[in-house]
Structure formats: C-alpha cells, structure tokens
Structure 1
C-alpha cells in the first residue's frame, strides 16, 4: 500500500472516531472524573474512569474539540477498557513517545485504531490535541492513588 493510500486510510479512521465516537457521554455516579483542556486549541475533555481492583472497568469521555483530540479520546477509552491500570499507563507512555516521533515497541499492546494517529507527530502544534485524553488518564490515576 502506498504512503498516500495509508495516509488516506488513517485520516478516514480518525474522522470515523470523530463523527462516531466510542464511549462518549458520561455515566451517573461512582466514577473518577478528570477535567482537562488545551487552551492553545480550545479542546476540552472530561474523562470518567471506573477502576476496580486495579483494572479499568469503564472509561468514558465528554467534551469538545478538534477531530484529533476527540478521536484520540474515543480510541483511548476503547483501548484501556478491561486493562490493568499499569498496562493503561504503559500504553499512555508509549503513545506519548509515538507522538514525539520516537521509535516505539508496540509488542504486547494491540493499539488498534490508535496507530492512525502516528502521523500527528509530524505536526508539533497538534501533539497536545492528540495527548489530551491520555494526560487526563495519567492525572486521574495519580489522583486515585
């Protein structure tokens, strides 16, 4: 597959998550909620986590922002559900490294659609958009401890 075709496919995946987000909308009660924003771009997210016995039982979000921030939140909530919190945090670190253009070892993690965001690393101004939900995850876990 040529680079242009792959780039087009990745754009389609990002737009699909933006237009049809997974896990969008908050649930009532019993969950840890983290609010974060990216004043540079105007992105705003409210991440809701339900963590039981060290496992992410539920991850939901609400907010508004650009296609990259909202699709990243959708992808992240799908990826971390059912994962031990240590794995979710390791995925967050891996994602941050990927956004910084570092070589990452994805062995052991099924990134699924998240890989579509890899091209964001070429646009430094958009990295904060892509990492907003992941930073909210890290903040929420720190507050939980």
Structure 2
C-alpha cells in the first residue's frame, strides 16, 4: 500500500491493529474500522505500543464509512466485494484486499477495474507439512488484490 506522511489511510477490518500501527509509523493518519470492539481494543494497544496514534471507529462497513473523510489509501481486511465497491466509489489512490476463492477474487478484481483501477492479483498459499512422512496436511490459499488509480498528471 505504501502509506506515507500526509496520507489518510482507512484500515477496514483492522483485526490485530498491526497494519494500523505500521501505517501510522510511516507518518500516515489512520482510521481503523471494525465491527468487533475487541479488535479495536487490540488496535488501540498496538498503536500505543509503537507510540503512534490512530482513530478507531466501531461499526459495520460499508455503512459506517459514509461519514469518514476521503481516504488516500485503503486496506480492506473484511467485508468482501460490497465493501471494496463502496471504497472504490470514494476513489482512493490505492486499495488492497484479499479473497479466499478465485470466484471472489474475480468479482473484486472486475469491480475495481470497472471503477477505473489498475488491478494486480497474486495467489498466496501455505502448506502445512507432516515432516515424518513429508506429506501435505493442510493447504491454505488467499488471493491478494491491489488496485491503483492510473497516474492522472499531464
């Protein structure tokens, strides 16, 4: 995402607060959004641990986003395609999200493209191995999607 000083970052579905704290450490103003009060508590603890600040907002996206100031950068950690589409309507420079299935990734990617974003997608996977027999025990996949508005300078 490349948050930098002067950027306003939304961290939707902030979870542990790790991204919120890291973005704030880069000098960005960060608004962390989550429907889970415990996640917001973890986020508050994370930013305090690093000696930075972030605003937290308790509520369900996309509705809770309506009154927030316009973002430059957004990480969508939860809420799926509906939240990504609502974020894209706000036209931040960069959006990053993930999907658990190829169908969901295609839906999000198509929506971002329709909003004018240049989209990149990477398939990430991890495999838990039983080293006694070197056999696969469990495979987890995720599709990481990023959208960037094309440079609009002349």
Output the TM-score relative to the length of structure 1.
0.26
Output the TM-score relative to the length of structure 2.
0.25
Task: Kindly name which structure, 1 or 2, has the bigger radius of gyration based on alpha carbons.
Answer: 2
- Relative to its length, the structure with more helix (as a share) is 1
- Relative to its length, the structure with more strand (as a share) is 2
Highest RCO, 1 vs 2 (Cα 8 Å, sep ≥ 6): 1
